[in-house]
Amino acid sequence: MSADETIGISGGKTDLSTKCLGAAAIGLGGGLIGIFMGVANGDKNPFLGWLWGTTFWLSIAIGMLMLVMLFRVFNSQWTPVVRRQMEHCLAVFPWLGLCFLPLILVVWFGGDQAGVLWNWVNPASDVPVAGEVHKVGHDVLLQKKSSYLNVFFFSIRVIGYFAIFCSLSYWMRKVSFTQDRDGDSKWTQLGHNISAAGLPAGALALTFGAFDWFMSLEYHWFSTMFGVWFFAASIRAGLAVAIILCFVLATRTDLKGFYNFKAHQYDLACLSLAFTVFWAYISFSQYFLIYNANIPEETFWYVIREINPNTGERTGWFWVSMGLIFGHFLIPFLSLLWYRNKVEPNKTLKIVVWILCFHLLDLYWNIIPGRIPNSESAVGYDIRYVLGTQLIWGLFTLVGVGGLCIWAVLKSYRESDAEIIPVRDPRIKASINYHE
Amino acid sequence: MSSATTDMVKPSAEILKKVKPAKLDEVPLVLNKRSLHWITEKICGIVEAKTPSWWWWCFIFSLLIASFTGMGLLVLVSSGVGEWGNNNPVNWGWAIVNFVFWIGIGHAGTLISAILCLLKQKWRTSINRGSEAMTVFAVMCAGIFPLFHVGRVWFAWWLFPIPNANNIWPQFKSPLEWDVFAVSTYFTVSILFWYMGMIPDLAVLRDRAQKMWRKYFYGFLSMGWNNSNTHWRNFEMAYLLLAGLSTPLVLSVHTIVSFDFAIANLPGWHTTIFPPYFVAGAIFSGFGMVMTLLLPVRAVFGLHDLINQKHIDNMCKITLATGSLVGYAYAMEFFIAWYGANSYEGFAFINRAFGNYWWAYWIMVSCNVICPQLLWFKAIRENTPLVWVISIFVNIGMWFERFVIANTTLSRDFLPSSWGYYSPTVVDIFTFFGTFGFFSVLFLLFLRFLPLMPLAEVKSVTPMADPHAGKH
Amino acid sequence: MANKGIKYGLTAVFNTASDIYTAAAKVRDAGYTSWECYTPMPVHGLDAQMYGLDEKGFPIRSKVPRFTLIGGVTGFFTGMFIVWYMNAYDYPLIAGGKPFFSPIFPFPVFYELTILFAAFGTLFGMFFLNRLPRHNHPVFEHPKFGRTGDDKFMIVIEVEDPKFDDEETKSFLNDIGGKSVGLIREPEEF
């Protein structure tokens, strides 16, 4: 069955796959132009945008990978119908690895501008230290952690993360798709065992990934909680996309009738509610402990997300922060408490799209704000604006990587000979008959 | 539009034809196809039978052990907190360790009754009542320590938001005040949850009661429950809501306990992962205790059909998972202590592993991280006595975890001139040792007078509860 | 059962969950309104069989969540009020260089009180909706009532139902498969 039939959009002028490839070409092309300009001018913004746009899709995929493994470990009865759709999404990891490549290439071959995104890469980059601007190479703090933060080890790690993600997703797909053909229960057992071992591996990969990609943007700052934040954020994003995808498929394809809004969607929405609370718990605890301890080496990270330390005035980041508290926690939390909002697809859909938008903002808030070294300033640095060119470059990347990911998922639907539901899964009957 | 999409559509017949689930041998939750009546008889029988003599022996023995706490507290109250080993620089000795230890144990009960309920893990039904009882009793044991550490215990009411003699209110900026709210809320809600879940079972005991005192006792407690669908409907909703409330509650309680440490700007204490790390550790220790308690109970009462290998397997796996999470947190702490490049923080962790309390640290690591890894193996999970021994190691390891956190940091902080070494006194040891007796006394009373398992929930997981039996 | 007392209703006993599940729908379709099912455990989907679905196709759900919500909101604002009143209004004290009142540092207190009050709201809401405590109930008079907590299922159609008729209802209960159909009387003394 072709993807276009599957998604039920054939008959248009151009099919969806081609449109997605087009979007990928335009978006990634735009983003790459930004990267070239960034290397040429020493402009950090296109890189920040690229990182933001790529990790948005990456976080969704990571969230789904962790969910699939969790479902398997829990021997969950109701999930096989949903799990199959997520397994198709796991096809995106190699492509995401490809999208990460430009950043690594710049680290290696960027010459003078190798440290344009992660300033610790280049000893000649500037860093604000105690009101003055120093060279990264002379920073004691970096010297102490240079056995971890160095180009070679960093690249090995990034390759390692993608190796873990790709191989786990390969196996998650393989055990499920092969079972469709031979109906052997050993695949269920194997999937269970791989997931049990894969969860710690995935957890470590995403933790250190978050340290390397996001936390080391300000390598002075550190938080033990940071990996857990990225886990919570990823799961929320993965659940939101799963709900959207299942809605699309259940209204337009053969998934119709198998995916029950009062049962499957209700439970996905409950999980979404739970992880909304979990995300808030993690984010709040991190803020709360740093706020209460009030140690300058940690607080600056939150300070630059609230005020401009040169003037003491609130910046746009303050409003982004408030937006996250109310938009990413309070509003989804209160809406998801209502039963109707979890079972009526058009209401649930609005909420999860909302969550996804704010997840994008959450990543933006974690990645973009930064200290721009400036010896003229009172504190030795200025703050990056909320609305800068990074947003434009980021939107290019967002569209480009998104197009590529959707194309890869459609390709998986089209080319793998898997049924729309895992027909030979031992628990498929329980999952089909699952009702409220 | 909404009604069009929510209405159940008939699934495609073509795919339905292909649905041929692979055969998987799964152990049912209730073995030997026991009938509903058998379940009622079995569980009510425990309470209704004549008190067995072993119960009396255990009860007297536990009372004896509990008297140690009584003696310890008597000495403490009559002569003052100087009787404990707390002194500069370690002003928080065993008391805080014991408090966190016991409160942590309680968390598994809430996890089983609340979080597993939300996750629709049906295997929880036969172990949840016992674990909830464990929660309530563990919190009672925990409460002893903060209550008596104030020294003049008759002023303990100052902890509550009541103005004292000078019209001063409690200070809400202090994590110890948050503890008061967290622990008292936790205790209250745990009792509510435990009690509410018990109401239908108490009604069954009431209806079966022969003796007058039983009729009144269970009749009063069951509040006139009548098994009607209206009752069940509201009950199920309320149960689900309490589960939903207890889940964030259980997370918050150990989070706030972790704030006791993490708010202080001391190396080894102030680290942002403390809240989830403490919660994972609490659940881990609690599961250790659940297995320590329920494996003997299962053997004594012959409950092998209701708590079978599947239940033990699952408990082992959760122990393994939470143990590994704790290991993850240890690793993060160490990594960030180094990555943060703060020399005091770095020293605190080197000192934990190789300093004056190195032995406590390695006991902790081997009991908490290494020992549970044995549970990866099926053969070990199926060896019940060995599982029981591992569960004891988990309890020991988690006590040492709190000891390591509290004591290594305090005994060697910033200035070497103020370093010291903490040793407990006999009063410390007596007080703590006795709490195990106190806990056992309460648990034995529970076994004797209250239903050990939720009848309705255990019945719900049998095939007889399915209204579509034989129709799918 | 004595022949004295006020008539309460007719009972019919069923042996399995699936029997009462099908029977319940028939009682509903016959148009009875004051009737009840008694079961040893909650039977999944029995609600929909007894009350049908609402106009949008959803099962009619219990109203306990409303009480929980009221409790939770009350708790949150109680927490806020006590912290503000005690530490910022009645006796302000400077501690830790923090403001007298802020939503951040006392958040644990708001949070715990939210949960505490919501839990009480839930329990008492359940009691209220179930009209508990009510230590006696006419159905307790039925000799087989005890078995509904064990392994039997029972339908009771009450006398106050407008459709209730001694003979007709009795034969109806027999028709839908009820065993040992009989009358419950409330003792007059109460």
Contact C116 B188 (CB under 8 A): yes
Q: What does pTM read for this prediction?
A: 0.90
Does the interface predicted TM-score (ipTM) exceed 0.95? no
- Asked if B472 and B75 touch (Cβ cutoff 8 Å), the reply is no
Q: What is the pLDDT of residues A317-326, one digit of tens each?
A: 999 999 999 9
Contact C61 A339 (CB under 8 A): yes
Q: For residues B153 and B75, give the distance between their C-alpha atoms in angstroms, rounded to a whole number.
A: 13
**CB-based contact, A297 to chain B, within 8 Å:** yes
A-chain residues within 8 Å CB-CB of C58?
A: 262, 339-340, 343
Evaluated on CA atoms B82, B278, A298, A119, the torsion sign reads positive
pLDDT at A256: 83
**CB-based contact, C107 to chain A, within 8 Å:** yes
**pLDDT averaged over every residue in chain B:** 87
Phi, psi for A313 (deg, rounded to 5):
-90, 155
Higher pLDDT, residue B24 or B331: B331
**pLDDT averaged over every residue in chain C:** 85
Task: Kindly tell me if the per-residue pLDDT of B225 is higher than 70.
Answer: yes
Q: What is the pLDDT of residues C11-50, one digit of tens each?
A: 888 888 888 888 888 888 888 888 888 988 888 888 888 8
B39 domain-assigned: no
pLDDT at B8: 57
Span of A95-104, A222-231, B56-65, B151-160 with lowest mean pLDDT = B151-160
Higher pLDDT, residue C67 or C186: C67
pLDDT at C77: 94
Q: What is the DSSP letter of A372?
A: E
Give the H/E segment covering residue C123: helix C107-129
DSSP string, B302-320: T-TTTS-HHHHHHHHHHHH
Contact C61 B167 (CB under 8 A): no
Task: Kindly tell me if the per-residue pLDDT of B469 is higher than 70.
Answer: no
For C:72-111, CB contacts with B below 8 A are 82-83, 86-87, 90-91, 93, 95-96, 98, 105-106, 108-109, 111
**CB-based contact, A290 to chain B, within 8 Å:** yes
**CB-based contact, A253 to chain B, within 8 Å:** no
Question: pLDDT grade, residue B38 (50/70/90)?
Answer: confident
B285 domain-assigned: yes
Q: Are strands A307-308 and A126-129 parallel, antiparallel or unpaired?
A: unpaired
pLDDT at B80: 87
Domain of B408 in residue numbering reads as 49-161+168-455
Q: Provide the domain count of chain B.
A: 1
Give the H/E segment covering residue C179: strand C179-186
Q: What is the pLDDT of residues C162-190, one digit of tens each?
A: 888 888 888 888 888 888 888 888 776 54
Span of A8-17, B77-86, B274-283 with lowest mean pLDDT = A8-17
pLDDT at A410: 92
Task: Kindly tell me if the per-residue pLDDT of B251 is higher than 60.
Answer: yes
Evaluated on CA atoms C113, C116, C122, C128, the torsion sign reads negative
Domain of A316 in residue numbering reads as 3-432
pLDDT at B210: 86
pLDDT at B81: 85
pLDDT at B399: 93
**Section B151-178 average pLDDT:** 84
pLDDT at A210: 95
B429 to chain C, closest Cα gap in Å? 32
Q: What is the pLDDT of residues C83-110, one digit of tens each?
A: 999 888 888 888 878 888 888 888 889 9
B38 domain-assigned: no
Higher pLDDT, residue C139 or B432: B432
Kindly state the tokens that stand for A186. 């050993």
Q: For residues A18 and A98, give the distance between their C-alpha atoms in angstroms, rounded to a whole number.
A: 19
**Section C148-158 average pLDDT:** 86
Span of A368-372, B174-178, B288-292 with lowest mean pLDDT = B174-178
- Asked if B220 and C141 touch (Cβ cutoff 8 Å), the reply is no
**CB-based contact, C112 to chain B, within 8 Å:** yes
B315 domain-assigned: yes
**Section B386-409 average pLDDT:** 92
Residue C174: CB atoms within 10 A of its CB come to: 12
**Section B194-203 average pLDDT:** 92
pLDDT at C46: 85
pLDDT above 90 covers a percentage of chain A that reads 61
Best mutation target, C21, C66, C104, to test chain A (most A CBs within 10 A)? C104
**Section C1-18 average pLDDT:** 78
Task: Kindly tell me if the per-residue pLDDT of C4 is higher than 70.
Answer: no
A-chain residues within 8 Å CB-CB of C61?
A: 339
End-to-end C-alpha distance for chain B, whole angstroms: 30
Phi, psi for C185 (deg, rounded to 5):
-115, 140
Contact A432 B11 (CB under 8 A): yes
* Regions in chain A scoring below 50 on pLDDT: 1-4, 6, 8-13
DSSP string, B357-405: THHHHHHHHIIIIIGGGGGGSHHHHT-HHHHHHHHHHHHHHHHHHHHHH
Q: Provide the domain count of chain A.
A: 1
How far are the Cα atoms of A376, B265, B274, B346, C59 from residue B338, in angstroms, in the given order? 33, 17, 17, 6, 56
pLDDT at B211: 87
User: A161-167 — which CB contacts under 8 Å span 24+ positions?
Assistant: A161/A205, A161/A206, A161/A208, A161/A209, A162/A93, A162/A94, A162/A96, A162/A97, A162/A100, A164/A201, A164/A202, A164/A205, A165/A61, A165/A62, A165/A65, A165/A93, A165/A97, A165/A202, A165/A205, A166/A93, A166/A94, A166/A97
**CB-based contact, A417 to chain B, within 8 Å:** no
B111 domain-assigned: yes
Q: How many residues are recorded in chain B?
A: 472
B-chain residues within 8 Å CB-CB of A223?
A: 272-273, 336
Best mutation target, B273, B278, B322, B328, to test chain A (most A CBs within 10 A)? B273
